[in-house]
Amino acid sequence: MRHLIDFGDVPRQEWDALYQRASQIMDAPEKFIDVCRGKVMASLFYEPSTRTNFSFQTAMLRLGGTVFGFADPNSSSVAKGETLKDTIKMVSGYADVVVIRAPWEGTAKAASLYSSVPVVNAGDGGHMHPTQTTADLTTITRLRGSVDGLCLGLCGDLKNGRTVHSLIKAMAKFKDIKFFLISPRELAVPEYMRAFMRENGMWFTEVTGLESVIPQLDVLYMTRIQRERFVDPLEYERNKGVYVLTRRKLERAKPTMLVMHPLPRVDEIAVDVDDDPRAVYFRQARYGMFARMALLEHLALQPRDDDPPPVEIGTRPVCTNPRCITQSQPYLPPLVRKIGGVDCCGFCDAALR
């Protein structure tokens, strides 16, 4: 792995090695305080973040490295109209690893084409969030012993919830996984995710009710309705508050079930659930820091590539997804990839029409 853009690109063996490393770090963090000494991480956050931004920063600091960057794009040259390409060419000249979050789908993929150092996708619009998946898998493995054989319920805004998309991609690498995808019909997973699950022969069922499936679950992964991604405010109003996990609903769940959430929570988990031993979302955030330490060690120590191959110059966007990075960066090459036999945008995965 040179970049981490999409969890689908991470071979199972490489994940297993990363988990082993994250586990060693958790058990004896003092042994790792110098492994990234002299290394510098760039943190480019074009979108709000608390956990992801802080956990990447603390991860690098705990490895003995340093960090620079911005959490407010208005304080960077984007505000002056600089292209993503130019920003990345310049920043990757200063840093050993670049962590990027943006509201445009496919941003990290686009950045990776122009970077001399590894790029990490810290969330690209409603598309993917693979490092949250490293936190999620670390939590499940640490607390349940393994991921194989589990029955998961993913609940909430599955259309716009990027953490869910990355987690589904990861689950294709494990054995005997079952999924209940719990969402209102209008917030069901995007077509490219359904095509991915079918292509990989994954067992999944789409349902609208949470309570009826709770007793079967080993993991319940709650997510927030992603207000900032709604084009139509009425659609948000119709769906907000649709799922609320309460102590009473948990009574029917297995005593060993894990309640997870990438956070931030709005109202989808009642506060009285926090003290239930099955509620592990705050631990999950802490495990995410250790998972990111393992990832940064892996990526920041790679040799620089100061002569990346030239990238074809695009002439017009081929993708019609209004949230795709190609809409605002027309020089990007026309990348296409097949998902379930359909031609899809190589940046945001939307089907090409």
The Cα-based distances of 326 to 52, 228, 322, 323 in angstroms read 25, 20, 9, 9
Minimum distance of ligand NCD from residue 49's CB (angstroms): 6
For β-strands 342-345 and 336-339, DSSP reports them as: antiparallel
List the beta bridge partners of residue 259: 220, 279
Using the rule CB under 6 A, which residue among 129, 159, 194, 292 binds ligand NCD?
A: 129
Q: Could you give the CA distance from residue 306 to residue 285 in angstroms, rounded to a whole number?
A: 35
- Measured on CA atoms in the order 323, 285, 99, 174, is the torsion positive or negative? negative
Minimum distance of ligand NCD from residue 131's CB (angstroms): 8
Is position 106 an interface residue for ligand NCD (rule: CB under 6 A)?
no
Minimum distance of ligand NCD from residue 176's CB (angstroms): 27
Between 159 and 224, CB nearer to ligand NCD: 224
Q: Contact 219/258 with Cβ under 8 angstroms?
A: yes
Minimum distance of ligand NCD from residue 55's CB (angstroms): 8
The Cα-based distances of 217 to 13, 137, 168, 250, 283 in angstroms read 26, 16, 16, 11, 20
Q: Is the peptide bond before 48 cis (omega within 30 degrees of 0)?
A: no
Between 39 and 165, CB nearer to ligand NCD: 165
Structure tokens, 31: 């042994």
Between 129 and 142, CB nearer to ligand NCD: 129
Using the rule CB under 6 A, which residue among 3, 194, 224, 323 binds ligand NCD?
A: 224
Is position 52 an interface residue for ligand NCD (rule: CB under 6 A)?
yes
Between 90 and 270, CB nearer to ligand NCD: 270
Buried b (16+ CB within 10 A) or exposed e, 56-66: bbebbebbebe
Using the rule CB under 6 A, which residue among 123, 130, 153, 317 binds ligand NCD?
A: 123
Contact pattern from residue 264 through residue 293 relative to ligand NCD, giving x for each residue in contact according to CB under 6 A and a dash for the rest: x-----------------------------
Minimum distance of ligand NCD from residue 130's CB (angstroms): 11
Is position 190 an interface residue for ligand NCD (rule: CB under 6 A)?
no
The phi, psi pair for 289, rounded to 5°, reads -65, -40
Q: Which of residues 249-268 bind ligand NCD (CB under 6 A)?
A: 262-264
Q: Residue 351's closest CA among 214, 210, 191?
A: 191
Number of residues near ligand NCD (by CB under 6 A): 12
Minimum distance of ligand NCD from residue 140's CB (angstroms): 16
The radius of gyration computed from the CA coordinates of the chain, to the nearest angstrom, equals: 20
Q: Residue 291's closest CA among 67, 92, 10?
A: 10
Q: Contact 122/7 with Cβ under 8 angstroms?
A: no
Contact pattern from residue 146 through residue 165 relative to ligand NCD, giving x for each residue in contact according to CB under 6 A and a dash for the rest: ----------------xx--
Using the rule CB under 6 A, which residue among 51, 89, 238, 240 binds ligand NCD?
A: 51
Binding site for ligand NCD (CB under 6 A): 51-52, 123, 129, 132, 162-163, 223-224, 262-264
